[in-house]
């Protein structure tokens, strides 16, 4: 476990090149299902959706260093939970060592300001909201 000023990383993760898009976040250790991978109560917010932000409410988007590397997949292995002032990244199934950590942007974003082609390998669709 790694702890830095309001941020707790329960499982080691690494940012590196992704087959899905640019850089991604990868598990450096096997992660069981229904497990808090990372949590933080020390993050910046903005009222606008920007590249790398995650929507918390209709008018609040998180700018969180580690989570900006989480790419989209139509078949996610994580979900985000906001518990009061804390954001948590939770596994929704077992994650293998070296597997990319992904979430479904359709479950976290009311709108996507810049449409993109989904490269998750499961749908091949255009992501627009």
pLDDT of residue 81: 80
Query: Which domain CATH number covers 36?
Result: 2.170.270.10
Please count the structural domains in the chain.
Answer: 1
Give 79's contacts (C-beta < 8 A, 6+ positions apart).
89, 90, 92, 103, 104, 107
pLDDT of residue 112: 57
List Cα–Cα distances, 124 to 1, 93, 115, in angstroms.
36, 22, 13
Q: Give Cα 20 distance to the centre of its chain.
A: 13
pLDDT at residue 4 tops 60: no
**What residue numbers bound the domain in which 70 lies?**
2-127
Per residue in 38-72, pLDDT (tens digit) is 877 765 554 444 455 555 555 555 555 667 777 77
Q: Which of 59, 32, 31 is nearest to 46 (CA)?
A: 59
Residues 16 and 23 sit within 8 Å (Cβ to Cβ): yes
Q: Which of 64, 61, 51, 69 is nearest to 108 (CA)?
A: 61
């Amino acid at each position: 476990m790694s702890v830095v000023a309001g941020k707790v990383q329960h499982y080691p993760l690494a940012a590196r090149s992704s087959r899905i898009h640019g850089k991604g976040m990868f598990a450096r250790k096997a992660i069981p299902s229904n497990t808090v991978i990372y949590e933080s109560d020390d993050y910046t917010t903005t009222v606008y959706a920007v590249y790398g932000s995650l929507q918390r409410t209709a008018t609040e988007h998180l700018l969180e260093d580690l989570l900006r590397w989480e790419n989209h997949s139509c078949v996610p292995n994580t979900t985000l939970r906001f518990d009061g002032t804390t954001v948590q990244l939770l596994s929704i199934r077992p994650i293998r060592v070296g597997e990319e950590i992904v979430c479904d942007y359709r479950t976290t974003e009311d709108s996507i300001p810049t449409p993109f082609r989904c490269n998750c390998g499961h749908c091949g669709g255009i992501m627009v909201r």
